[in-house]
A and B are shown apart, each in its own frame.
Chain A
Amino acid sequence: MNSKNYDKTLNKIHHSVAFQIASVVALVVLLILSPVITLHAYKGVGVKNGGHLTGVIMKSGRIPRDPVKFISKDRPICGRAITAEKYVISRKGEIRWAVVSLEGIRRGKKFSNAQTNRVLTNTKCRFDPHVMVARRRSRLIIKNSDDTLHNAHFFLMRGKRRKNIGNVTLPFRGLVVKNRRVLRKSGLISAICDAHNFMQGYIVSVDHPYAEVSDRKGRFSIRDIPAGVYRLKVWHEALGVKRIRVVIRAGKTTRISVRY
């Protein structure tokens, strides 16, 4: 096709009504989708007659031992040795400190007050709680209950890479720091203390309130979920990530068991 013919054909296509309508429709679709594509925002609207999800997280096969770290300084406060809390698993195989969260949920219940103002305490050279779920863009309250210097050094984890997002010092007992910047992005946040290199904690910063940490018996319970089919993400610091499809029915409780 020579260039003159090509231009003519192009002109014809551009001037056809069908093309103009198609382009208008394409723009409308883009316009409607743009907030969904760009914002990924969660809307807390309250849930009536929602379903519940309860379950237990288990380890099958050999149960790994929790590593013990020996301490050479601040022994009156930290003790002589400390467990890493990497594998807090009962004899039956119930896993503590696993985080369960629903993926891709856009509307649902509102955040509770407890999920908004989370407290991270440095006590006996441990981060308490070892793993927590916190609302994105909320305030994180960091405390020191030890009579020694701690520093809460936060990293946002992106695969194997980590990005420093704040390093707050807590040099004396009773100091309370209210930080608004650590939880500015969603994702997994690792907390370490440079002065005590055996300290390690995790915060999962979430956009929605449908996330929980498993308890001593590996149990979790997420309430008031709008009925539907979801993907449940289970994360554990050493055992990794698992994803499971769950069906939530209105007014009913779905029970699941996750096995690593």
Chain B
Amino acid sequence: MESVLVVISSDNCKRIKNRKLACALSLIFILSGCSLMSGAVPLQKKTSQTYNRKVASGLYRVSCSHCHGVTGKGDGPAAAYMKPRPRDFTSGSYKIRTTDTGEVPTDSDLFKTIKFGIPNSEMPGWSLLGDRKIRLLVAYIKSFSPDFLEEKPPRIIFGKPGDLTDQSIRLGRRAYHKARCAKCHGDSGRGDGPSAAELKDDLGNSIRPTNLNEHWQYKGGATPQDIFRTITTGLNGTPMPSYKDALSYEERRNLSNFVHSLGKIKRN
């Protein structure tokens, strides 16, 4: 395409007898050519200009590929020994997001996951790399799935976390029963509900519901705000669904306070 555009330049017009017509035609088609190419330009920008792909690739190979695989399919040499299995980046499905269920996460979600890791899994925090390198990794990991180019889902906006009052926790207990959380997480939150034994993740591997009595097991984090996010957006790739449509904002806030209280975190 580029060579064609170069050929039809204004200099060449002089050589053609019907100069005006040729020049006009050239101009029109240069413009049309540009408009055709315009679809591809942002793509190139995203993959090559905004970050150094070579450096990011090297960083990924050293830090991530052992578990997530060189091709990002979650099939690195260490993957077979892990439960849950490392994320398959080509699927575009991520657990910890501030976006709606089934959507891709935002850059800041990925950044936080890499920086702080995921509790109760083999994913460690990579804060030792520094923010700049983590940002490179975010860009590189996104390039594994075309979903990031096709979709830009909005962040679900969260309010301030509700006060951890006894009243809120009491209402949260009611929401726990209304939302039938006990179906998987059990009546006392020990992860022993009637459906617990048969749950499977997206890859078809068995997965247990989180024992809510052990706060260090909460994959999305154990603060009321983190729990609120997990309840609202669900965890993609696992059976944990989104409660955004089933419970009101207030109910979800109370429920996250109640679940937080189940975690038995010592309060200062």
**B254 CB–A CB distance under 8 Å:** no
**B179 CB–A CB distance under 8 Å:** yes
Whether B243 lies near A169 (C-beta < 8 A) is yes
Interface centre among B22, B202, B246 (most CB of A within 10 A): B246
Please name all residues of chain B whose beta carbon is closer than 8 Å to the beta carbon of A62 when the two chains form the complex.
none
Q: Mark A176-199, 1 if CB is under 8 A from B, else 0.
A: 010101100000000000111100
**B200 CB–A CB distance under 8 Å:** yes
Interface centre among A30, A169, A175, A177 (most CB of B within 10 A): A169
Binds B, one of A95-103, A111-119, A157-165, A234-242: A157-165
**B79 CB–A CB distance under 8 Å:** no
Specify the chain A residue showing the minimal Cβ separation from B15: A15
**B183 CB–A CB distance under 8 Å:** yes
24 A-B pairs whose Cβ atoms sit less than 8 Å apart in the complex: A17-B16, A20-B12, A24-B29, A27-B36, A31-B32, A148-B180, A149-B183, A155-B202, A161-B91, A163-B92, A163-B93, A164-B93, A164-B102, A164-B202, A167-B101, A169-B234, A171-B178, A171-B180, A171-B246, A172-B178, A194-B200, A195-B239, A196-B195, A197-B198
**A229 CB–B CB distance under 8 Å:** no
Known: A73-B194, A168-B245; 11 extra A-B contacts, CB below 8 A, are A20-B16, A31-B32, A149-B179, A163-B91, A163-B92, A167-B234, A169-B245, A171-B178, A171-B179, A171-B243, A196-B195
3 tightest Cβ-Cβ pairs between the two chains A and B: A194-B239, A166-B102, A169-B241
Please name all residues of chain A whose beta carbon is closer than 8 Å to the beta carbon of B237 when the two chains form the complex.
164
Cα separation A179 to B241 with both chains bound (whole Å): 14
Please name all residues of chain A whose beta carbon is closer than 8 Å to the beta carbon of B100 when the two chains form the complex.
166, 181
Whether B12 lies near A15 (C-beta < 8 A) is yes
Cα separation A161 to B4 with both chains bound (whole Å): 40
Given contacts A164-B93, A197-B198, A182 and B102 within 8 Å (CB-CB): yes
Please name all residues of chain A whose beta carbon is closer than 8 Å to the beta carbon of B103 when the two chains form the complex.
181
Q: Which of B12, B15, B25, B195 is the one whose CB lies under 8 Å from A194?
A: B195
Whether A151 lies near B241 (C-beta < 8 A) is yes
Whether A162 lies near B202 (C-beta < 8 A) is yes
Please name all residues of chain A whose beta carbon is closer than 8 Å to the beta carbon of B134 when the two chains form the complex.
none
Q: Which of B16, B91, B202, B242 is the one whose CB lies under 8 Å from A169?
A: B242
**A54 CB–B CB distance under 8 Å:** no
Cα separation A167 to B200 with both chains bound (whole Å): 13
> How many whole Å from B13's CB to the nearest CB in chain A?
9
Cα separation A31 to B12 with both chains bound (whole Å): 23
**B199 CB–A CB distance under 8 Å:** yes
**B184 CB–A CB distance under 8 Å:** yes
* B 1-48 contacts with A by CB, 8 A: 4, 7-8, 12, 15-16, 22, 25-26, 29, 32-33, 36, 39
Please name all residues of chain A whose beta carbon is closer than 8 Å to the beta carbon of B36 when the two chains form the complex.
27, 30-31, 34
Please name all residues of chain B whose beta carbon is closer than 8 Å to the beta carbon of A260 when the two chains form the complex.
none
> How many whole Å from A13's CB to the nearest CB in chain B?
9
**A170 CB–B CB distance under 8 Å:** yes
Please name all residues of chain A whose beta carbon is closer than 8 Å to the beta carbon of B102 when the two chains form the complex.
154, 164-167, 181-182
Please name all residues of chain B whose beta carbon is closer than 8 Å to the beta carbon of A24 when the two chains form the complex.
8, 25-26, 29
Specify the chain A residue showing the minimal Cβ separation from B179: A171
Please name all residues of chain A whose beta carbon is closer than 8 Å to the beta carbon of B245 when the two chains form the complex.
168-169, 175, 177, 179
Whether B246 lies near A175 (C-beta < 8 A) is yes
Q: Mark B195-235, 1 if CB is under 8 A from A, else 0.
A: 10011101000000000000000000000000000000010
